[in-house]
């Protein structure tokens, strides 16, 4: 695992070369108190990496739930997480939203534009992921997803006009270092640190996110 995006703070969960999915999942539960659950994984079929779900045209190979009851499987216990990944060490790490955090998903180009703007504005940021499907996920306080449509309207946009997707209860995000087929691994655009343990409210980030998504249309 390699960190490709510079960060100024010492990471609470440092990305270390060779650190296993099991160790990372356990650290998410132990250090951030995030619920985690194992998803699908990649299998080599005739030299090609395929999703364990068996679907040749899988949209997120190796990076989606393996079971319909994933919400009840998710755990905040490091001990249980260790046990689950010991059964399948190459399973992706998925984090349910709507519990310890919600997330706002935007296109990668808009996400990096918004991130630069937020830093100039000196906004408090939570963790932000950048995934190989060219989406970025901004972590916000639980309940933030439900506020997004009205916040967007207050800024003068129609929610349907922006590629800005709130993720709350019943959804999930893939966590680093989960891999999406041959496209690469999820990375931190803004890593978890002691400084961002306290997450921002969705309202604090909505103006730069909506502006960036509007520019990206």
31 CA to centre of own chain: 16
Is 14 inside any structural domain?
no
The answer as to whether 204 is a domain residue is yes
Is 43 inside any structural domain? Answer: yes
Q: Which residues pair with 102 in a beta bridge?
A: 140
192 assigned to some structural domain: yes
**Using CA atoms, how far apart are residues 98 and 145, in angstroms rounded to an integer?**
8
Give the CA dihedral 200, 201, 204, 206, nearest 10 degrees: 120
The answer to whether position 185 is within a domain reads yes
pLDDT single digits (tens) 63-87:
999 999 999 999 999 999 999 999 9
Taking alpha carbons only, the member of 128, 125, 146 closest to residue 136 is 128
- Helix, strand, coil share (%) of the chain residues, nearest 5: 30, 20, 45
What is the pLDDT, as a whole number, of residue 18? 53
Tell me the Cα Rg of the chain: 17
* CA–CA dist 193, 191 (Å, integer): 6
State the pLDDT at residue 5.
Answer: 35
- Both tokens of 97, joined, read 């939203």
| Token pair for 43 | 């299998």
Of the candidate ranges 21-25, 68-72, 155-159, 206-210, the one whose mean pLDDT is the lowest: 155-159
The model's pLDDT over 84-110, given as tens digits with 9 standing for 90+, comes to: 999 999 999 999 999 999 999 999 999
Tell me what the mean pLDDT of segment 116-142 comes to. Answer: 95
Q: Which of 58, 33, 35 is nearest to 45 (CA)?
A: 58
In a domain, 186, yes or no: yes
Give residue 195's pLDDT band: very low, low, confident or very high (50, 70, 90). Answer: confident
Show the domain range for 201. 21-215
How many domains would you assign to the chain? 1
How far apart CA 171 and CA 47 sit, in angstroms, is 32
Average pLDDT, the chain: 89
In this prediction, residue 8 has a pLDDT band, given cuts at 50, 70 and 90, of very low
* Residue 66 located in a structural domain: yes
Q: Is the pLDDT of residue 164 over 50?
A: yes
pLDDT band at 4 (very low <50, low <70, confident <90, very high): very low
**According to the model, what pLDDT value does residue 6 have?**
36
In a domain, 61, yes or no: yes
pLDDT beyond 70 at 16? no
**Sequence-distant (≥ 6) Cβ neighbours of residue 29 within 8 angstroms:** 35, 36, 75, 76, 77, 78, 81
Task: Output the pLDDT for position 81.
Answer: 97
**Residue 56: per-residue pLDDT:** 84
């Amino acid at each position: 695992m390699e960190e490709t995006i510079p960060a100024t703070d010492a990471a609470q969960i440092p990305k270390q070369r060779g650190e296993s999915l099991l160790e990372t999942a356990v650290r998410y539960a132990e250090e951030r108190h995030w619920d985690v659950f194992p998803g699908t994984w990649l299998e080599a079929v005739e030299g090609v990496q395929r999703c364990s779900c068996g679907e040749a045209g899988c949209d997120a190979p190796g990076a989606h739930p393996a079971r319909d009851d994933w919400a009840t499987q998710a755990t905040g216990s490091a001990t249980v997480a260790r046990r689950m990944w010991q059964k399948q060490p190459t399973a992706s790490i998925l984090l349910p939203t709507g519990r310890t955090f919600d997330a706002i998903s935007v296109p990668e180009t808009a996400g990096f534009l918004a991130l630069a703007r937020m830093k100039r504005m000196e906004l408090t940021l939570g963790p932000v992921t950048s995934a190989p499907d060219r989406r970025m996920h901004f972590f916000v306080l639980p309940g933030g997803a439900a506020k997004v449509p009205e916040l967007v309207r207050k800024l003068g946009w129609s929610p349907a006009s922006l590629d800005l997707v709130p993720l709350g209860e019943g959804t999930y995000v893939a966590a680093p270092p989960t891999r999406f087929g041959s496209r690469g691994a999820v990375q931190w655009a803004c890593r978890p640190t002691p400084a961002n343990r306290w997450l921002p409210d969705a309202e604090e980030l909505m103006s730069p996110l909506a502006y960036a998504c509007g520019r990206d249309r």
